[in-house]
Chains A and B, each alone.
Chain A
């Protein structure tokens, strides 16, 4: 994997990344040092079936704490990307939401709620400008993930 994750060969499995990780407390825990080991050992089949990278809370404490300059947080994201490339069922549906509306939440449907707190019904984001949203989609259509999975991204 050509990704900027620090040099993962420097990892000696000390477990600092796990010690501060909220998702390491789950019953089926995210153990980032274990994932690093799987990458180093080339255990591709096992790694492809492992859903734990998707439990990261994205707090990045592991990256701050790693004594070896590895970026465990970036390792987790890189594994997610690799999984998404290998198996499109990993691709988060939120990508399609962003492609369609520019957002992960129904910003354009909150009119009444927004009016009730004295705000403009539609916020000044991309939802207010359909021409711009079209250009945004055109940009995304040029990216690898959308090109390779174009059946998901329909207008």
Chain B
């Protein structure tokens, strides 16, 4: 069984631990073993050290990457920002010997060393390329028959494709194939590749503008699809698409399409307890979960 180090980041273990639980249960059940990466920190997120001091930022990334190296494993990541931040940092460290020297000087005091031997994989990449939709289709017990899903593709897994791409950057289809493997009908829509707008500073600095931006996406989903649920694969997409729908609904029109991380919906199809793998939400998921489990 292929084995990976699970990089948790910050939002998932603190705010959406049901996604962490879903990953810890669902990945091994389809043949991807995950082990802990002890002592990891924030990746660091782009709005933190990368925005203030590049050497400090690379040192924090190297700290995290060195934990995976110590285990001789690649890291698997759910959060889009963590994925992009760690991959971009790794590329810089491998490309620039001078920076690697500075970073290793910083790491020395903690008894760590960055070598560059481990890489970072997004969970979509692992599930599609290492496990494969066929194996997932065979493993599930409760297929999503009759369920319509739409995809919110994590923007951080697309660009810059040269450094971190694994899917076709202009026409990503792996997440869709993984959702179809669960038996759902995936409806396409015109704004499928539009970013959720939740990451970085846009929503923090100009929240109402970010809501307006996201509304275009939700309008398209409502107009063009029969979506029972939205499947995301990034913690920011998950939290933001829920929060925005709640705030949009204050305007009178209802926006209430349940949002699932892929690992959550996979875990439900594998028969794991929704109280553990899909219990935390802003937009209620109960009805669609009942529909999936056939307990409605």
Contacts and interface: CB of A to CB of B under 8 A. Distances in A.
B77 interface: no
B48 A95 contact: yes
Interface string B256-280: 0000000000000000010111011
Interface in A98-117: 98, 102-107, 109-110, 113-114, 116-117
Contacts of B292: none
A105 B56 contact: no
A138 to B, nearest CB: 6
Contact of B13 (A56, A125, A129): A125
B110 A56 contact: no
Given A129-B38, A139-B63, A113 B17 contact: yes
A28 interface: yes
Given A80-B52, A91-B52, A59 B156 contact: yes
B270 to A, nearest CB: 15
Given A94-B47, A129-B39, A139-B106, A105 B15 contact: yes
A60 B47 contact: no
Interface residues on A, range: 35 or more
A94 B45 contact: yes
Contact of B46 (A77, A114, A145): A77
A17 B110 CA distance: 40
Contacts of A63: 159-160
Interface in B12-57: 13-15, 17-18, 20-21, 24, 36-42, 44-56
B134 interface: no
A55 B201 contact: yes
11 contacts: A22-B202, A23-B201, A63-B160, A64-B169, A81-B51, A95-B48, A102-B41, A110-B14, A140-B60, A142-B106, A143-B55
Interface of B: 8, 10-11, 13-15, 17-18, 20-21, 24, 36-42, 44-56, 59-60, 63, 81, 84, 92, 96, 106-107, 109-111, 155-156, 158-161, 169, 194-195, 197-202, 205-206, 209-210, 212-213, 273, 275-277, 279-280
